[in-house]
Amino acid sequence: MLNKFSRYVCQNCGYETSQYFGRCNNCKEWNSIIEEKKSTLSKKNIIKQTKKSKLFTEIKLQEISRIKTGFNEFDRVLGGGLVNGSIILLGGEPGIGKSTLVLQAAGKISLSHNVLYITAEESLEQVKIRWDRLNQGNSELKVFAENNLSLIIDEIESSKPTVAIIDSIQALNNSDLESASGSVSQVRSCSSELQKYAKDNNIALLIIGHVTKDGTLAGPKTLEHLVDVVLNFEGDQIATHRLLRGIKNRFGATFELGIFEMLETGLNEIKNPSSNFTCQENIAGVATTITVEGTRSFAVDIQSLVNKSFYTNPKRATTGLNINRLHQIIAVIEKHVDLKLYEFDCYVATAGGFEINDPSSDLCIAISIISSLINKKPIKDCAFIGELGLNGQLRKTNNLKSKVEECIRLGYRKMLIPKNNSEIVMKFKNYISLIEIENIKGAVNIALKN
Ligand code: TYD
Ligand code: MG
């Protein structure tokens, strides 16, 4: 029977029907339709206008007050710290260290603020074991183990924290809904209720969410729209370094990066990432580039292993780099340096598997491949910057100045950079020798001439 007070709305595309379907007629998504109750009162009668439109000149800005997390790396990704009354979503694969990061930060914040850590996944004893392992000592941090949404809101109401942490949103349960914890409707309803409560009461709310296998936060990305800040905690569970990436930030720069390492005693911030991602030794097959992540530049080694292939199709594999970029760079080398790689397997990896998307690392990748192929070391104390065009030309790169500055800080003596950067060459000529290069062939002649 049709219910005149309900409508059924696809949560994927917004298609509306008066009847429930298992599959949306419009976008063909399964189980995306949910019932939404219509309001029976006319909005016009009940909502009085209390706000008026304003001119920009009339709007007064208040200083945003921020709460420091005790980790400089975390604060930088947040844009300077947690903003009062903001909602932050911290995503990441299970086991990557989200609870550890947040518990360490909570311990530090609780030294000066009222913090409530709500654990819906673990018992109080489990959290205490982790706490002792992290050697956090005494603190005023309050912990509450519960997964029922209304009990959690009651607890937040009574403890009145400045910062509340939910670990994790997928374990929460709103008993008004019949679906299981972790389902899209549960995740969505729990987060919107919590968000509303936190906004009304000026509580900074940090929500942990597990990411699904395809890399999206569970609840088809819906949470990302609700919150002010989306952070992703990534890394390889075997390697120790962990990256905290800003995906969205209403209070700061996005794509900012914080780097940590996971030790026996918890997470430790890495203040000088260049030292972690370079070996500073001169070896055949290894070359160094400078990559920019967020507002920071740092050096990363790229290593290649090029071996005679025994397969009909030679093997190409990458770690930390897109495989298609490798194919493209190999094609450019074959065509423009006239080195044939079709009989060689080619393995290219960044130090520590650190993911590099900066196209200006192309030249460095090419030099490391050729260096391994001909078994010759690249010139000493040199970094390589430049995006390779398909015609073998080196293209202009962004943030060259900050890359050069990082190189100087690290004590490199030379840098191969794309041409038409004479201003930068002049500016830094007393500190580093910047060699302007036109194309890949020119770069190889200089980099591998020794
Ligand atoms: P955890 O914070 O529980 O991950 P998440 O909340 O993202 O699921 O971290 C779990 C992993 O971190 C676990 O494999 C053990 C490791 N770990 C350390 O190496 N050192 C530590 O001090 C802690 C607390 C955890
Ligand atoms: Mg956890």
Q: Tell me if 94 CB under 6 Å of ligand 1.
A: yes
Q: Tell me if 97 CB under 6 Å of ligand 1.
A: yes
Query: Which of ligand 1's atoms lies nearest the C-alpha of 94?
Result: 8
Model pTM score:
0.79
Residue nearest to atom 8 of ligand 1 (CA): 95
**Long-range contacts of 341-344, Cβ-Cβ distance < 8 Å, separation of 24 or more:** 341/306, 341/314, 341/369, 341/373, 342/314, 343/308, 343/309, 343/314, 344/306, 344/307, 344/308, 344/309, 344/314, 344/373
Q: Tell me if 238 CB under 6 Å of ligand 1.
A: no
Query: Which of ligand 1's atoms lies nearest the C-alpha of 262?
Result: 19
Residues of the chain with pLDDT under 70: 1-5, 37-49, 212-222, 237-238, 450
Cβ atoms 88, 228 nearer than 8 A? yes
Q: Tell me if 151 CB under 6 Å of ligand 1.
A: no
Strand intervals (E) in 68-161: 82-83, 87-92, 115-119, 142-145
* Ligand showing the shortest atom-to-Cα distance for residue 264: 1
Q: What is the pLDDT of residue 2?
A: 45
Residue of 86, 78, 87 whose CA lies nearest to 105: 78
Count Cβ neighbours within 10 Å for each residue of 62-90 and write b for 16 or more, e otherwise.
Answer: eeeebbbbbbebbbbbbbebbbebbbbbb
Please, what sign has the CA dihedral across residues 264, 269, 272, 278?
Answer: positive
Count Cβ neighbours within 10 Å for each residue of 157-183 and write b for 16 or more, e otherwise.
Answer: eeeebbbbbbbbbbbbbbeebeeebbb
Q: What is the pLDDT of residue 238?
A: 66
What's the 191 CA to ligand 2 centre distance in angstroms?
17
